[in-house]
Amino acid sequence: MIEALRRPRRLKEGDRVAIVAPSGPAPEDRVRAGVAILEGWGLDPVVMPGVGSPHPRLGYLSGDDRARAADFQDAWSDRGFAAVVSARGGYGAQRMVDLVDWEALAEVEPKVYIGFSDATALHEAIAVRLGVASVHGPMPAWSVFIDDTVTQEHLRRTLFEPEAVQKLVSPTARPLVPGQACGVTFGGCLSLLASGIGTGEGRTDAAGGILLLEDTGEDDYRLDRCLTQLLRSGRLDGVAGVVLGSWVDGDSEERIRATVLDRLGPLDVPIIEDFGFGHCAPSWTVPLGVPALLDADAGTLAFEVPALR
């Protein structure tokens, strides 16, 4: 049974936040633009050394695995940081996650981790290894965060005044399977969740959980493959409800809907689609590890407690 996780404290003006690059390299101009937005919120963002430094041979990675892990470890271990933020997604978090000394990080007061997409690997690790809730949200070097004020403001309110966004109401959401469900939120990028099965972060107990799923650039058969892997592994046994975000740059809405219903419909739990989180614009911020009520008919996800203390 999935249980609610320890919530870090909310942010306040003057807090130092560490920007890390556990996945791909972040373009310098985008990092500067994202930092400026965070500074406008009264935060003191600190860009860690590995951000913007591509791997010498594998250009899709921001530095080698040990360096990326060290940046994350140093940021989380530093009690002067109130939050750790992934600069961008891409690929690479799964390569560095086992190089982090999680036992050492468990001795540190919980802090906010923010990211999505490839950051799903770190959300899972933080949940399983530290028992800490995290924030599935936009990253400072992501173009949508830089350009879209709605996306910016929803993240800001989640971090500074989480009571104000304790109930998410999506104007685009539609029920695929009607009904209500209570449970603790978990999930993220579908392909990352599927590829994490069998690892230290591949939780096998989802009973009582509200599953969040999104992805980008995937055809219907590839989504089918990932969903089938989750089902065959038992990863979705006992799931209480499903919230689907965006499927940007993938197959048509109709084909994806058919695939999702074929694979997840037999779970016989409430399923809501197009909830507006993930790789879309605007993109909602959604806390993970927090108990919530899903109302598929009303298109709402209401959290029993604020995302942060």
The radius of gyration of the chain's CA atoms, rounded to the nearest angstrom, is 18
What pLDDT does residue 209 have?
Answer: 97
Tell me the pLDDT tens digit for each residue of 129-184.
Answer: 999 999 999 999 999 999 999 999 999 999 999 999 999 999 999 999 999 999 99
Residue 109 banded pLDDT, cuts 50, 70, 90: very high
DSSP assignment of the chain equals ---PPBPPPPP-TT-EEEEE-SSSPPPHHHHHHHHHHHHHTT-EEEE-TTTT---SS-TTSSS-HHHHHHHHHHHHH-TTEEEEEES--SS-HHHHGGGS-HHHHTTSPP-EEEE-GGGHHHHHHIIIII-B-EEE---TTSHHHHH-HHHHHHHHHHHH-GGGGSEEE-TT-EEEE--EEEEEEEEEEHHHHHHTTTSTT-----TTEEEEEEEES--HHHHHHHHHHHHHTTTTTT--EEEEEEEETSS-HHHHHHHHHHHHGGG-S-EEE--S-SSSSS---EEES-EEEEETTTTEEEESS-S--
Residue 200 banded pLDDT, cuts 50, 70, 90: confident
Q: What is the mean pLDDT of residues 200-211?
A: 83
Tell me the pLDDT tens digit for each residue of 61-106.
Answer: 999 999 999 999 999 999 999 999 999 999 999 999 999 999 999 9
Residue 124: pLDDT over 80: yes
Tokens found for residue 281: 């614009």
What pLDDT does residue 52 have?
Answer: 78
CATH code reported for the domain at 167-303: 3.50.30.60
With 0-12 / 13-18 / 19 or more C-beta atoms within 10 angstroms meaning exposed / middle / buried, residue 254 is exposed
Tell me the pLDDT tens digit for each residue of 241-272.
Answer: 999 999 999 999 999 999 999 999 999 999 99
Q: What is the mean pLDDT of residues 217-239?
A: 96
Domain boundaries, the chain: 16-164, 167-303
Tokens found for residue 220: 């219907």
Q: Which amino acid is at 49?
A: P
Catalytic residue positions, numbered: 117, 214, 279
What pLDDT does residue 264 have?
Answer: 98
Tell me the pLDDT tens digit for each residue of 13-67.
Answer: 999 999 999 999 999 999 999 999 999 999 999 999 989 778 999 999 999 999 9
Residue 117: pLDDT over 70: yes
What CATH superfamily classification does 16-164 receive?
Answer: Murein tetrapeptidase LD-carboxypeptidase, N-terminal domain (3.40.50.10740)
Place of tokens 């950051």: 119
- Whether cis (ω within 30° of 0) applies to the bond prior to 282 is yes
Q: What is the mean pLDDT of residues 229-246?
A: 96
Tell me the pLDDT tens digit for each residue of 269-297.
Answer: 999 999 999 999 999 999 999 999 999 99
What pLDDT does residue 215 have?
Answer: 98
Residue 213: pLDDT over 90: yes
Q: Which of 307, 283, 287, 286 is nearest to 151 (CA)?
A: 283
Tokens found for residue 284: 């909602």
Q: Do domains 16-164 and 167-303 have the same CATH topology?
A: no
Residue 204 banded pLDDT, cuts 50, 70, 90: low
Place of tokens 């999702």: 260
